[in-house]
Structure 1
């Protein structure tokens, strides 16, 4: 919770409340980070199904990168609890992932995925076969007092090419970072209301229990709305750092993005949350990068460096310009 006291003076018809939260007076320490490997089990996610590809599955790539990320975070922050949502090839629903994060009181949620794009189909001639085709000619012949149409088919042999169809790798490559949509806050709000431990202190002269419940619920909703906005700003800040650290590796950094349909697991966690699309598994070079020890380690280190910058800033905040929702955030369908 934020360490600060928000004193809300209600109208004369309502008692006075003091909401104790942890905020700017004492910087909040980051104690728990949740690392989520996307997909798993029967849900393989995307795969590199193009010709000449490794035919790798997203679920395996995300697990490998997540394990390395957990190791790097543990080395960098031995005082922080690093909790992976999965360490083996098992399926977890988005609800289960969010529950793990919320029940462990995570301070950050980092979800690892691999991107994909639609594969185009190519074709090539791999041989020929002889087939019979028919040339058609129409003649009119006299039959009694009438002329009738007669169709004459003349067969001939031709060589027909045998085509082989295959999938082409996509051209798009690079790493992108995704946030829960700024307009999709209902699930985030609900997660905070259900999981956050608000400490509400009432004035000593509050005696009407019905008024107490009504006003408490109202102030909790106000506070939860504040949390949603702060989590959005913090998510953008961490996403910016991840994007910058990826750029330092020489990879294409595709910026910070929001899906208009939302990303449910990010919206259902009561903490700042980002999703990293580490690369395009349908791209020839990206797929090999994502499956290599070097690539996986490089991504893990880049994210860890970003978390380090974020942690330093959050735990020892300096005067900084407020982060706006529009700060370099791309919106996609």
Structure 2
């Protein structure tokens, strides 16, 4: 845990509650712990709708279905921020997830707009807000105003002030890559399995996101204000399909953590990568690496554990170990190593950047140091 400000990340949005929460929040190191957060609750109904149903009810029904399915897996422990129609504060949700030492935080919500906008969105923490993303963050953070003495509990944070959102810096940098991975899997399932309109993976300055110390996502399952989509969200069929898509993504994400390490490594592809001559792209004071895997397992950084790749380095972040292939200040060289890693079966590999031993955003490095 890195300081109290590193508390819960993405649930974000609205409000949820902790109901019948006894020993479920105690850390469990033997299982993969998933915290499911149903948005809003109690005196906070969530997004308004003229169709006779509310966001808090839809979100709860979907979360309970996801949880019931995940609980059938003996390797997974499910914790809920609420199981009934109760109100829970943002800081309360953060506390639940962090005390449980969770591996994953998944918050479920419904979107809203004054038009007949439709489609799904999955958010991860971020500060690069567009106008639309700012509006979403503002709406979801406003639940803070329903709490007594919110100025004291949230250090003067004002959900209506853009400068407050800018102040929510990326305290989730250690988990952003895994949050994006899960978010992408969720949106992929919505678009490909359910044939729904996906508005993609997005970033927003959500208070709860910035306060979690685990991979976290906030799912906008659709626009409850859209006539057709709203009724779909409120239907048994729609809720069953949505919960299935999210459950499948969580299970796929869990499998990916151990997919390419040790005895679970996939069969390497036939290597066809040719390392061509390339123009050097050296970035002073920057070290690039290829992240090839992340796992709860601590493995020897030997070639036999990673399909012959070498050198391999390892770093512990929270409860996970991240494994990296190669290191260089030459971006062209690291891109070649990325191709080689993928040819060895590490399909989800990606490039990361470090400065002074600390991981930094790759895009920022490339933009700042380019021409």
Q: TM-score normalised by the shorter chain: which range applies?
A: 0.5 to 0.7
Tell me, yes or no, if structure 1 residue 40 matches structure 2 residue 41.
yes
Return the offset for 1:297.
0.8
Distance 1:182 1:235 in 2: 15
Can you list the C-alpha shifts for 1:207-250, whole angstroms capped at 9, x where unaligned?
xxxxxxxxxxxxxxxxxx99933300000000010010111211
Give the CA deviation at 1:55. Answer: 2.4
Give distance in 2, aligned partners of 1:96 and 1:230.
22
Deviation (angstroms), 1:40: 0.3
Q: Distance in 2 between matches of 1:38 and 1:239?
A: 17
Q: TM-score scaled to structure 1, two decimals?
A: 0.57
Comparing both chains, which one has the higher relative contact order based on Cα–Cα distances under 8 Å and sequence gaps of 6 or more? Answer: 1
Q: Tell me the CA shift for residue 258 of structure 1.
A: 1.3
Does 2:135 correspond to 1:107?
no
Residue 68 of structure 1: aligned partner: 65
Structure 1 runs, 4 residues or longer, greater than 3 Å off: 225-228, 323-327
Aligned equivalent of 2:190: 246
Contact persistence 1:34–1:108 (CA under 8 A): yes
- Correspondence 1:315 to 2:311: no
Structure 1: state its 5+ residue gaps: 2-27, 119-169, 185-224, 328-333
Name the SS for the 2:68 alignment partner.
Answer: helix
Distance in 1 (CA, whole Å) between partners of 2:63 and 2:234 is 13
1:69 & 1:33 partners in 2: Cα distance? 11
CA contact (8 A) 2:31 2:77 kept: no
Instruction: Compare the two structures and name the one with the higher strand fraction.
Output: 1
Contact 2:187 2:200 in 1 (8 A): yes
Q: Distance in 1 between matches of 2:185 and 2:175?
A: 15
Match of 1:229 in 2: 173
Map 1:1-333 to 2 at 5 A: 31-49=32-50, 54-75=51-72, 77-118=73-114, 170-181=115-126, 228-248=172-192, 249-259=194-204, 262-317=205-260, 319=346, 320-322=348-350
Please tell me whether Structure 1 or Structure 2 has the larger radius of gyration of its CA atoms.
Answer: 1
Change (3 A) 1:173 1:323: farther
Structure 2: any 5+ residue segments left out of the alignment? 2-28, 130-168, 261-292, 294-345, 353-360, 364-371
Alpha-carbon RMSD across the aligned residues, in angstroms, is 2.5
Deviations 1:245-289 (A, max 9, x none): 111211111100112xx1111111110000000010100011111
Task: Give the Cα separation in 1 of the matches to 2:127 and 2:70.
Answer: 28
Confirm or deny: 8 A CA contact 1:233 1:323 kept in the other structure.
no
Residues 175 and 246, structure 1, Cα contact 8 Å, conserved in 2 = yes
Instruction: Give the TM-score of the pair, scaled to structure 2.
Output: 0.51
Residues 25-54 of structure 1 deviation map (CA, whole Å, 9 limit, x = unaligned) = xxx9862000000000000111212xxxx2
Deviation for aligned residue 1:175 = 1.0
Aligned length: 203
